[in-house]
Every structure is written in structure tokens, then in C-alpha cells.
């Protein structure tokens, strides 16, 4: 088994994927580290809270490792991971209590310190605005905002390219309107 260093000695993703598929955990760690942050972002915005996002992220990493043999490289590794993150987030959402119950608990526990009040308020406004979007628009927007191209989002969601463009356009408009009104 060959090893690929974390220092970036091998920069070609296809070589890292091949090494990881051959069982090189270090190569997988390098691939994962490049995708982890955006995967967490998708998990967080779809689940709506850090605890569930971390659960979904862990499920994502495990599923990516276990499913690595099936990765064919038709899209970048990161795009593949983001689709796994989306699916893992949906699984976490299905396992938890209703959203209204969770939001009530979060709002009860939220104590805002004065210096951070504006930042928390903006984040809360953004989360509420994202929650108003239809699921298809929210997912397309989050994948796109996570760095995927329109084409990669279309492949990931298995919908036509023009549908993705329309969803993202509508989502951005609704967010702008919702945030301006709030």
C-alpha cells in the first residue's frame, strides 16, 4: 500500500482518490479535509442546528469512506461528498422530533450577550429566511453556495440544468426580499 502525504505532495485529486480507494487512509484524510468544511455547511443549513449537523457530518464521512469504491470521478470528490452530506442531513432530520419543538427549545436557551446581539440577529434572520424556501430551492442554493457549479448541482440533484438555475435565482430573490423586510 502506498502512502500519500498530507503535506500536499500529490495534488492531483484522481491520484488521491485512487490511493484512497486502494485503502490509503491518509489520502482519504486529505480528500476529506478539502471537502469537510463545505459538507458541514450543507449539513448545518439543512438540519438547522450544530448538534444535528455534526451527526450528519459524521454520517457523511463514514458513508464517503465506505462508498469510496463506488466513486467514479464523474464529478469532483467534493461534489460527491456534498450530495452525501445532503442525504445524511435528510436522514438526521427524519430521526429527530418535529422542527417546531426543536426551534422552541433553541429559542428558550438562546441568551445573547450584548456585543454579539447584531451578529446573532443577522444569523437568525438568515436561518429563518432559508427555512421559508422550498426544499428544492434551499438545497440547490446551499450546494451552489458551497462552491458547486450549476452543472454539478444539476447532476447532484438529478434535475435539468435550467431547473437548477431557476431554483437558485428564485431562492436568492426570496432571500434578498425576506432579509430586506426583516
Summarised one tens digit per residue, pLDDT across range 36-94 is 999 998 998 888 888 889 999 999 999 999 999 999 888 889 989 999 999 999 998 88
Question: With 50 as the cut, is the pLDDT of residue 8 above it?
Answer: no
Q: Contact at 8 Å (CB) between 24 and 2?
A: yes
Closest by Cα among 136, 125, 128, 127 to 169: 136
Query: Which CATH number is associated with domain 1-97?
Result: 1.10.1740.10
Residue with cell 458541514: 40
The cell numbers describing 161, all together, are 440544468
Instruction: Look at residue 133 and tell me whether its pLDDT is greater than 50.
Output: yes
If you ran DSSP here, which 8-state letter would residue 49 be given? S
Q: Which three cell numbers mark 26?
A: 491518509
SS3 of the chain: helix, strand, coil, percent, to 5: 75, 0, 25
Report whether pLDDT(7) > 60.
no
Mean pLDDT of 15-28: 93
How confident is the model at residue 4, as a pLDDT? 46
User: How deeply is 101 buried, as exposed, middle or buried, from its count of CB atoms within 10 A (0-12, 13-18, 19+)?
Assistant: exposed
CB atoms within 10 A of CB 83: 22
First and final C-alpha spacing in the chain: 56
What is 111-182's CATH number, 3.40.50.80, 2.40.160.10, 3.40.50.1370, 1.10.10.10? 1.10.10.10
Question: What ranges do the domains of the chain cover?
Answer: 1-97, 111-182
Query: What pLDDT shows up at residue 6?
Result: 44
**Whole-number pLDDT of residue 112:** 47
Distance from C-alpha of 167 to C-alpha of 173, rounded to nearest angstrom: 10
Q: For the residues 166-175, what does the mean pLDDT come to? A: 87
Residue 15 pLDDT level (bands cut at 50, 70, 90): very high
pLDDT value at residue 87: 92
85-128 pLDDT per residue, tens: 999 999 988 886 654 554 555 555 554 444 455 666 666 777 77
For 80, other C-beta atoms within 10 Å of its C-beta total: 24
Query: What element of type H or E holds 157?
Result: helix 150-157
pLDDT band at 3; cut points 50, 70, 90 = very low
Residue 10: Cβ within 10 Å count: 17
Amino acid at each position: 500500500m502506498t502512502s500519500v502525504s498530507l503535506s500536499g505532495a500529490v495534488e492531483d485529486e484522481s491520484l488521491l482518490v485512487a490511493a484512497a480507494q486502494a485503502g490509503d487512509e491518509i489520502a482519504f484524510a486529505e480528500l476529506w479535509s478539502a471537502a469537510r468544511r463545505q459538507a458541514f455547511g450543507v449539513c448545518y443549513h439543512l438540519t438547522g442546528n450544530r448538534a444535528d449537523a455534526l451527526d450528519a457530518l459524521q454520517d457523511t464521512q463514514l458513508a464517503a469512506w465506505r462508498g469510496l469504491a463506488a466513486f467514479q470521478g464523474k464529478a469532483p470528490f467534493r461534489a460527491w461528498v456534498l450530495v452525501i452530506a445532503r442525504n445524511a442531513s435528510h436522514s438526521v432530520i427524519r430521526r429527530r422530533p418535529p422542527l417546531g419543538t426543536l426551534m422552541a427549545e433553541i429559542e428558550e436557551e438562546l441568551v445573547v450577550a450584548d456585543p454579539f446581539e447584531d451578529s446573532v440577529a443577522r444569523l437568525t434572520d438568515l436561518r429563518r429566511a432559508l427555512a421559508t424556501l422550498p426544499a428544492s430551492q434551499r438545497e440547490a442554493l446551499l450546494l451552489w453556495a458551497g462552491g458547486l457549479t450549476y452543472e454539478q448541482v444539476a447532476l447532484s440533484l438529478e434535475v435539468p440544468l435550467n431547473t437548477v438555475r431557476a431554483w437558485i435565482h428564485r431562492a436568492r430573490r426570496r432571500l434578498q426580499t425576506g432579509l430586506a423586510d426583516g
